[in-house]
């Protein structure tokens, strides 16, 4: 018999924020959607927009609660690492020529395909994703459901976090994701093709935080070596006892995977569900689609 439950039901307390949409919409707008002003006009929200914000926030909360269907639950230990990818989605990632087998393919598309293939083999790891451009945000929380992580990667695109490159904020956001992990080995894989030119968090500050959390940061500069700050990437990796890689094409990224495989796995205590099916994809997908619709609608009004 199938059972339905939420892995983190306590997050439903955040539903109180939905009420605030109607009581304090302007304040909530700045907190939950700090960058939405780039696309919206300075006018009062209409009821339809309030409803959209309510649905987006509610869907995100349901996704965070991690709804599942399972047959049986037990406690278990497994071996693995906590691994977060910090991915550059700035405008330059739209350039082509990174994949020698398809010269028209964009760097970011080639990167996503390669990442999906890589994480599909990380059976015992917890994997998360942070996205950064002009600013950064936690795109995917730590999860051992690799199919869901690979599925969600398809929703991210170049420019989704702005056109600039805030490496420091990207690392800081990845570190926040790792704080929830329980593995001994904590690793960030930073992938960028540019120079730090944006963000409120400096790279130096982010590296100091990583050292305090005993997090290794493997850095990968992709594309032409003149396009990214190799010295900075080397410094980040060196200061966190990791390694810097320069990858001119997708084949060279395999070297990174070999290095990650050498990391010592550690025990992770976790709840294990037999015949478990994760459902968080559905409310999260709904939230992303509604958010994209809202942004497109408000951007159209501005134009």
Residue 298, pLDDT above cutoff 70? yes
| pLDDT (0 to 100) of residue 127 | 92
Task: Provide mean pLDDT across the span 238-254.
Answer: 87
Contact present, 206 and 163 (Cβ < 8 Å):
no
Task: Provide mean pLDDT across the span 228-239.
Answer: 95
CA distance 90 to 135: 10
Residue 269, pLDDT above cutoff 80? no
80 vs 52, higher pLDDT: 52
Helix ranges restricted to H, 86-214: 107-119, 146-153, 167-178, 203-212
Task: Provide mean pLDDT across the span 219-226.
Answer: 88
Task: Return the minimum-mean-pLDDT range out of 24-28, 187-191, 281-285.
Answer: 24-28
Task: Provide mean pLDDT across the span 217-235.
Answer: 92
76 vs 242, higher pLDDT: 242
| pLDDT (0 to 100) of residue 45 | 46
CA distance 166 to 88: 8
Cβ burial, residue 283 (10 Å; 0-12/13-18/19+)? buried
What does the mean pLDDT of the chain come to?
82
DSSP-assigned letter for residue 264: P
| pLDDT (0 to 100) of residue 77 | 56
Beta-strand runs (E) in the chain: 3-6, 67-70, 72-80, 82-88, 126-132, 136-143, 186-192, 215-222, 244-247, 266-274, 277-278
| CB neighbourhood size of 145 (10 A) | 17
| pLDDT (0 to 100) of residue 42 | 47
Residue 238, pLDDT above cutoff 60? yes
The CATH architecture to which 74-269 belongs is: 3-Layer(aba) Sandwich (3.40)
The model's pLDDT over 115-165, given as tens digits with 9 standing for 90+, comes to: 888 888 777 788 999 999 999 999 999 988 888 888 888 889 999 999 999
| pLDDT (0 to 100) of residue 19 | 72
Contact present, 217 and 242 (Cβ < 8 Å):
yes
- Tokens coding 191: 């992938």
Considering the entire predicted model, what is its pTM?
0.65
| pLDDT (0 to 100) of residue 230 | 94
| pLDDT (0 to 100) of residue 88 | 95
| CB neighbourhood size of 52 (10 A) | 18
Query: 47-64 vs 16-23: helix axis angle to the nearest 10?
Result: 160
Domain ranges of the chain: 3-71+275-302, 74-269
Strand partners, 72: 274
| pLDDT (0 to 100) of residue 24 | 62
Residue 231, pLDDT above cutoff 70? yes
């Amino acid at each position: 018999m199938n059972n339905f439950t939420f892995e983190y039901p306590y997050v439903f307390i955040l539903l109180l924020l939905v009420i605030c949409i109607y009581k304090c919409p302007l304040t909530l707008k700045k907190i939950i959607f700090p960058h939405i002003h780039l696309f919206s006009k300075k006018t009062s929200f209409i009821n339809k927009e309030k409803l959209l914000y309510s649905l987006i926030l509610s869907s995100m909360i349901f996704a965070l609660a991690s709804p599942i269907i399972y047959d049986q639950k037990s406690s278990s230990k497994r071996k693995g690492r906590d691994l977060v990818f910090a991915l550059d989605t700035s405008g330059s990632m739209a350039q082509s020529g990174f994949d020698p087998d398809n010269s028209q393919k964009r760097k970011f598309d080639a990167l996503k395909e390669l990442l999906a293939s890589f994480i599909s083999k990380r059976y015992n790891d917890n994997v998360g994703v942070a996205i950064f451009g002009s600013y950064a945000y936690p795109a995917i929380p730590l999860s051992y459901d690799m199919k869901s992580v690979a599925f969600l990667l398809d929703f991210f695109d170049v420019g989704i976090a702005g056109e600039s490159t805030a490496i420091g904020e990207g690392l800081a956001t990845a570190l926040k994701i790792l704080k929830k992990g329980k593995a001994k080995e904590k690793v960030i894989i930073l992938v960028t093709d540019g120079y730090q030119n944006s963000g409120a968090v400096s790279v130096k500050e982010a590296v100091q935080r990583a050292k305090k959390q005993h997090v290794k940061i493997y850095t990968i500069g992709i594309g032409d070596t003149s396009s990214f700050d190799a010295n900075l990437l080397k410094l980040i990796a060196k200061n966190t006892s990791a390694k810097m890689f320069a990858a001119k094409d997708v084949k060279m990224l395999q070297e990174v995977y070999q290095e990650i495989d050498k990391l010592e796995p550690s025990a992770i205590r976790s709840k294990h569900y037999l015949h478990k099916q994760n459902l968080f994809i559905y409310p999260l997908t709904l939230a992303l689609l509604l958010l994209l619709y809202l942004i497109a609608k408000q951007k159209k009004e501005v134009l």
